[in-house]
Amino acid sequence: MTVLPIVTAPDPVLKKKAVKVAAVDDRVRQLMDDMLETMYLAPGIGLAAPQIGLSERVVVIDIGRSEENRQPLYLANPEILWVSDEDNIYEEGCLSVPEHYAEVTRPKAVKVSFLDRDNNTVEIETDGLLATVIQHELDHLDGVLFIDHLTSLKRNMILRKLLKQKKEAAADK
């Protein structure tokens, strides 16, 4: 497996609508495995293909957090079928928005359909943290970051800091 570099905001690939994969074939399976490895190492609990610079509708999630507790979810071409009226608020972060966290309000429960690692169509209904992570990752496929759910004042403050960090990192090279 290969650990891939993670793209951080601001970057055009993070704002782009990703395209569907034709099927989960060996190439997509390899991509899913590499993304999962990258996510575990980061460490994170979700990663979408645009975050490694690939504009395709592929996501990996594992909210298990510990090595003994691993429960990876592989999603290709995911679609939200239903969301609850009731909302939840979680403090969210993102590997593409390093070191920034903010509370985001989203529907508490979702029903989602996707192709799994074996190219089978799967439907799951879930709530709590997993429902939030699914919505956060699916947003990435449509070029939306969690900071896009904040006020423009907060968003611009975070983006300015990220841009500054990027410039400083580039200058150090």
**Using CB under 5 A as the criterion, which residues of the chain lie in contact with Ni ion when the complex forms?**
94
Q: Which is nearer to Ni ion, 6 or 24 (CB)?
A: 6
Identify whether the C-beta of residue 108 lies closer than 8 Å to the C-beta of residue 90: no
Nearest distance in Å: CB 54, Ni ion: 14
- Give the per-residue SS3 of 42-103: CCCCEEEHHHHCCCECEEEECCCCCHHHCCCEEEEEEEEEEECCCEEEEEECCCCCCCCCEE
Radius of gyration of the chain (CA): 16
Catalytic residue flag (residue 92): no
Smallest distance from Ni ion to CB 49, Å:
12
CB nearer Ni ion, residue 26 or residue 50: 50
Smallest separation, CB 32 to Ni ion (Å): 17
* Residue 105 vs 119, nearer CB to Ni ion: 105
Residue 8 or residue 119: which is nearer to Ni ion going by CB? Answer: 8
> What tokens does 120 get?
């089978």
Which residue minimizes CB distance to Ni ion?
A: 94
Tokens of 149: 């759910």
Distance CA 136, CA 47 (A): 9
Catalytic residue among 56, 67, 137, 168: 137
How far apart (Å, rounded) are the C-alpha atoms in residues 28 and 116?
A: 10
Tokens of 95: 């590997």
In angstroms, give the least distance from the CB of 100 to Ni ion: 11
Active-site positions read: 137
